[in-house]
Amino acid sequence: MNSQFMRITSRFMIASVLSLGLPIQSAYAGIVGTDKVAAAAHTQSERARIGSYLEREDVSKALQAEGIDADAAKARVAAMTDEEVLKVAGKLDQVPAGGDVVGVLLTVFIILLVTDILGFTSVFPFTHSAR
């Protein structure tokens, strides 16, 4: 029994020592350019601007009139890609002050609806995912 224990222990030790020589995956650390950091900061500020726009009382009333929960819309904005955020923010820049809120809301609604249909999210119960 003692020799069997020694045989198993020695095999385990040999396997352990041999596995120490295996290469370990290393992380790659690169320098991030200033333009990438600035673009990410710009996108985050635009995302925050859209979020603050959705918190306005008139916008939340317009969303409720369209049957959209304001919290669901905020969650959707948080889930949007950077390109979508910049597109919606560009639409906000084109709207005159106190102007066509419905057009902006319709744009946000369409983006949310398309992402819901594509199966990326599940906010609207009346849509069926394409997945």
Residuewise pLDDT in 10s, the chain (131 residues): 678 888 888 888 888 877 776 666 666 777 888 888 888 888 888 888 888 878 888 878 877 887 778 788 888 888 888 888 888 888 776 765 555 566 777 777 788 777 777 777 777 677 766 66
In a domain, 41, yes or no: yes
In a domain, 96, yes or no: yes
Name the pTM for this structure.
Answer: 0.49
Distance between the two ends of the chain, CA-based, in angstroms?
59
Q: Give residue-wise pLDDT tens across range 51-89.
A: 887 888 887 887 788 777 878 888 888 888 888 888 888
Cα–Cα distance between 62 and 101 in angstroms, integer?
8
Cβ(62)–Cβ(102) under 8 Å?
yes
In the three-class reduction of DSSP (H, G, I as helix; E, B as strand; rest coil), residue 45 is classed as helix
Q: Which of 112, 48, 66 is nearest to 58 (CA)?
A: 66
Q: How many domains does the chain have?
A: 1
Q: Which helix (H) or strand (E) holds 53?
A: helix 34-54
Task: Report which residue type is found at 79.
Answer: A
In a domain, 69, yes or no: yes
Domain boundaries, position 112:
28-131
In a domain, 16, yes or no: no
